[in-house]
Structure 1
Amino acid sequence: MPFTLASLVTFQAEIKKSRFQVFAVSVENEQAVKDFLETYQDLSTTHQCWAWKIGHQVRFNDDGEPSGTAGRPILASIEGNELTNIIVLVNRWYGGIKLGTGGLVRAYGGSAGQCLALAEKIELIEKIPVSFLCNFNEWAIFQYDLNQQQIEFKEDYLATGVQIIAYVRVDQMEHLSLKIQDVTRGREQLKRIEELP
């Protein structure tokens, strides 16, 4: 069962005079990763190494450290904690003592692991994108219901009515489907979106 982080977590350690600073936060997509890395860019660091995992996609960066000594151990900490939709950034300020490849792996992986151990983890509940149409006079009823159930949605006003795209949990599907049939008197039905643009 995958988990993600409830909020941003930070951790700092000093290892053989090198200072390590870790940031871990949940991300929904690659744009959120880019935004995070831009926000936390720190030119005073010697290295800014990171790893992220969103669903089955993974990326990592050693930022000038020997290949496989930083990004991969950070990713191993993410996967070892059964986390997804997360980025972990480890900043290093070099302190004058070389750590060696084994020392770097332990330092980056260990710092990331200690940071994630402090984190509050929440179960990642899959949300399914769905869509439906309704008339303008029906929209207020649906808007109220979607808000009551804390369903994320966006509406698009068309000449013929309102098109709604919503992100629902599996356990909310039946209720919403019945509500649509009831309010529109069977005219409309809930459609699952297979591929979002």
Structure 2
Amino acid sequence: MSFTIANSASFEEEIKKSRFQGIATPVQSEKDVKDFLLQYKNSTTTHQCWAWKIGHDVRFNDDGEPSGTAGRPILATIEGNELTNVLVLVNRWFGGVKLGTGGLVRAYGGCAGQTLLLAEKIELIPTQHAFLCCNFSEWAQLQYELHQYQSEYQEQYTATGVNIYCELKLDQIELLQKFLQNLTRGREHLKIIED
């Protein structure tokens, strides 16, 4: 079971005169990561360290801190919370007191952890995109069924009926397939769209 966060969260703390600010946000792609990091680029910080995980892909950055003392502890916090599709950025404004290797690991990992505690954790439910079609006379019943599944969909009206593109939870695919076949008396089949 995988989890992500529902929305962005932030946390600030001071450790030995250095100010740390953590920001966590849900992300779906590397483009989301790049856009977020560009938006939150802050030249007043001493270090902007981050880590992200999307599925099995992970990246982290120490931004000038000693190797392994910032990005890796942030990533460890993400993975320790069983999260994916998450980016955590920790900004540091140096206060004049060196923290040492262990102190940096605790500061960055701790700030990331506190930030993630403030974010709402939600289960990441795998979905699949699908295509199906029906006659105009069948559309009301099919539309009702899609509402029951709380499925997001887009309909496209054609000369012969309605084409529907939808996103379904994996356990809904077989159920909707059976419903569609019963509704259309075997004429139509649900087609999975490969990403």
TM-score (norm 1): 0.86
Residues 175/33 of structure 1: CA separation in 2 closer, same or farther (3 Å cut)? same
List alignment gaps of at least 5 residues for structure 2: none
The 5 A counterparts of 1:105-120 are 105-120=105-120
For 1:68, what is the secondary structure of its paired residue? coil
1:107: how far off? 1.0
For 1:164, what is the secondary structure of its paired residue? strand
Count of residue pairs the alignment pairs up = 195
Letter in 1 for 2:84: T
Identity %: 65
The residue aligned with 1:56 is 56
The residue aligned with 1:180 is 180
Letter in 1 for 2:40: Y
The residue aligned with 2:149 is 149
Residues 156/33 of structure 1: CA separation in 2 closer, same or farther (3 Å cut)? farther
Residues 38/153 of structure 1: CA separation in 2 closer, same or farther (3 Å cut)? farther
State the superposition RMSD in angstroms: 2.2
The 5 A counterparts of 1:22-171 are 22-135=22-135, 138-139=138-139, 141-155=141-155, 162-171=162-171
Segment drifting more, 2-11 vs 50-59? 2-11
The residue aligned with 1:18 is 18
List alignment gaps of at least 5 residues for structure 1: none
Structure 1: distance between partners of 2:38 and 2:184? 46
Structure 1: distance between partners of 2:102 and 2:43? 26
The one-character-per-residue Cα deviations of 1:104-148 (angstroms, maximum 9, x if unpaired) are 111111111122233321121111222223345644543443234
Letter in 2 for 1:79: E
